[in-house]
Amino acid sequence: MAEPGRVAKGAAEPVLADAIVVGAGPGGSAAARHLADRGLDVVLLEKTRFPREKVCGDGLTPRATRQLIRLGIDTSAESGWLRNKGLRIYGGGTDPFEMPWPELTDFPSYGLVRPRADFDDLLAKHAVAGGAHLYMETAVTGPILDERTDRIVGVTTKDGREFRAPFVVAADGNSARLAIGMGIQRRPDRPMGVAVRTYYRSPRHDDEWLESWLELWDGAPNQSSLLPGYGWIFGMGDGTCNVGLGILNTSPAFGKVDYKDLLLRWLANTPPEWGFTDPANQIGTVQGAALPMAFNRQPIYTRGLLLVGDAGGMVNPFNGEGIAYAMETAELAADAIAEAHYRGAGTTSAERALAGYEAAVKAELGGYYRLGTIFVKLIGHPKIMHLCTTYGLPRKTLMRFVHKLLANLTDKRDGDVMDRVINAMTRIAPSA
């Protein structure tokens, strides 16, 4: 599916484009499609070859679903999507209960599930269908900097090629190689998570709810040890479930426990009929990766480079969701680049438009992520989490509020009282 951009004569010549996007995960492919839709000639560079796996829970909230709809992707069951109605929450010693996604003007009231191997391939194809030029097996090694201005004017690749454009989107995920190449360092004051997951054959595969476990016990609840971290069980609709857990670096256990062992200890105490206690049902190994949160790399715009998604540490600290935010920041980045392109690359006016990217992202998510950094400090300790779940979960109105807050699902205009309180809190909080 790869196609050349404006290839200058001869293989050794650089490929020229209006914009370069590095990394074809959800952030990169969304950015490429939005840029192509805005009339730019865009190249999308991806180090792997699709379809490929990505360690993930494969769960999409209504916030991520909205981004798919904005891209013009058909999210019907006939197109291979499994819809979910909301969250089923376990914790606090009470029976599990179900929290439907809220009915809102700004978001659909359903989420989705799709294996990343399939999801990322689909998004990359969607970018190509819109006119982006995808280069697979093209690992970017670093930025090409203009000696005079110190701005990024292109990238080099492992196989010795050059791609040149006045605007570059770094969507290369948590490795953030390009951002590091531009001297952007990780902020240690931002929360970081680690999550592991695997797949099991299970009769629960077509569950209509995303299941979230706020407490993990290694035996009977309240009579055994409380394990650190939070778990999930997401039915994939294909005979399997994606099962995993995450731990925040605010937890005393972070970096000191065997996460794989933790996952298996938790699952060993789930009902046998679910299928997670029998190793014969496991498909593939337990794999893990980092969850960089709350803008852990800044600035997110500098000298022609815009950071999108995990490359800028944009995972939501409240719930570990990263796909929606990668796609959302991708759209904002495409808006800023298109504006700069049509104002004229290199002009002061174009630079103003590019700087507007950082302002737009912070206006949308800055206050919310600031609150998230406070939240993760509080819940990092299992005992505090236990207190919250014990006294909070039985209170349905409080839980509806928490549900909206954690999933970042409110109406910006004409919302209900909860929406207005959450929106006010995020407006007042200084940006992360």
Ligand X SMILES: Cc1cc2nc3c(=O)[nH]c(=O)nc-3n(C[C@H](O)[C@H](O)[C@H](O)COP(=O)(O)OP(=O)(O)OC[C@H]3O[C@@H](n4cnc5c(N)ncnc54)[C@H](O)[C@@H]3O)c2cc1C
The closest of 152, 142, 135, 136 to 176, measured between CA atoms, is 142
Binding flag, residue 45, ligand X (CB under 6 A): yes
Given 321, 328, 411, 419, the residue binding ligand X (CB under 6 A):
321
Binding flag, residue 56, ligand X (CB under 6 A): yes
Residues 101-140, one symbol each (x = binds ligand X by CB under 6 A, - = not), give --------------------------------------xx
Binding flag, residue 190, ligand X (CB under 6 A): no
Binding flag, residue 55, ligand X (CB under 6 A): yes
* Nearer Cβ to ligand X (152/350): 152
Binding flag, residue 322, ligand X (CB under 6 A): yes
Binding flag, residue 313, ligand X (CB under 6 A): no
Question: Could you tell me if 359 and 299 are in contact, meaning their C-beta atoms sit under 8 angstroms apart?
Answer: no
Q: CB 391: neighbour CB atoms within 10 A?
A: 11
Task: Select from 169-177, 250-258, 383-391, 396-404 the region that touches ligand X (CB under 6 A).
Answer: 169-177
Question: Could you tell me if 272 and 278 are in contact, meaning their C-beta atoms sit under 8 angstroms apart?
Answer: yes
Question: Could you tell me if 270 and 200 are in contact, meaning their C-beta atoms sit under 8 angstroms apart?
Answer: no
* Nearer Cβ to ligand X (24/350): 24
Binding flag, residue 171, ligand X (CB under 6 A): yes
Element (H, E) at 37: helix 26-37
Binding flag, residue 315, ligand X (CB under 6 A): yes
Binding flag, residue 326, ligand X (CB under 6 A): yes
Query: Which residue's CB comes closest to ligand X?
Result: 322
Binding flag, residue 57, ligand X (CB under 6 A): yes
Task: Select from 259-267, 294-302, 315-323, 348-356 the region that touches ligand X (CB under 6 A).
Answer: 315-323
Binding flag, residue 372, ligand X (CB under 6 A): no
CA dist., res. 226 & res. 249, Å (int): 17
Binding flag, residue 244, ligand X (CB under 6 A): yes
Binding flag, residue 48, ligand X (CB under 6 A): yes
CA dist., res. 147 & res. 134, Å (int): 28
Binding flag, residue 307, ligand X (CB under 6 A): no
Binding flag, residue 291, ligand X (CB under 6 A): yes
Task: Select from 79-87, 181-189, 323-331, 393-401 the region that touches ligand X (CB under 6 A).
Answer: 323-331
74 — phi, psi (to 5°)?
Answer: -75, 115
Helix (H), strand (E), coil (C) string for 286-351: EEEEEEEECCCECCCEECCEEECHHHHCCECCCCCCCHHHHHHHHHHHHHHHHHHHHHCCCCHHHH
Q: Measured between alpha carbons, how far is residue 46 from residues 38, 51, 189, 329 in Å?
A: 21, 12, 30, 19
* Nearer Cβ to ligand X (316/426): 316
Binding flag, residue 46, ligand X (CB under 6 A): yes
CA dist., res. 91 & res. 40, Å (int): 49
Residue type for 154, please? G
As a residue count, the chain comes to: 432
Maximum alpha-carbon separation in the chain? 71
* Nearer Cβ to ligand X (173/382): 173
Question: Could you tell me if 266 and 217 are in contact, meaning their C-beta atoms sit under 8 angstroms apart?
Answer: yes
* Nearer Cβ to ligand X (195/406): 195
Position of tokens 């009902």? 271
Residues 22-41, one symbol each (x = binds ligand X by CB under 6 A, - = not), give xxxxxxx-------------
**Residues whose CB is less than 8 angstroms from the CB of residue 12 and which lie 6 or more positions away in sequence, other chains included:** none
Given 33, 38, 47, 370, the residue binding ligand X (CB under 6 A):
47
Binding flag, residue 151, ligand X (CB under 6 A): no
Element (H, E) at 378: helix 367-379
Question: Could you tell me if 368 and 408 are in contact, meaning their C-beta atoms sit under 8 angstroms apart?
Answer: yes
**Nearest distance from residue 334's CB to ligand X, in Å?**
14
**Nearest distance from residue 23's CB to ligand X, in Å?**
3
User: How many residues interact with ligand X (rule CB under 6 A)?
Assistant: 41
Binding flag, residue 245, ligand X (CB under 6 A): no
List residues binding ligand X (CB under 6 A): 22-28, 45-48, 54-59, 64, 139-140, 171-173, 175, 177, 195-197, 244, 288-289, 291, 309-311, 315, 321-324, 326
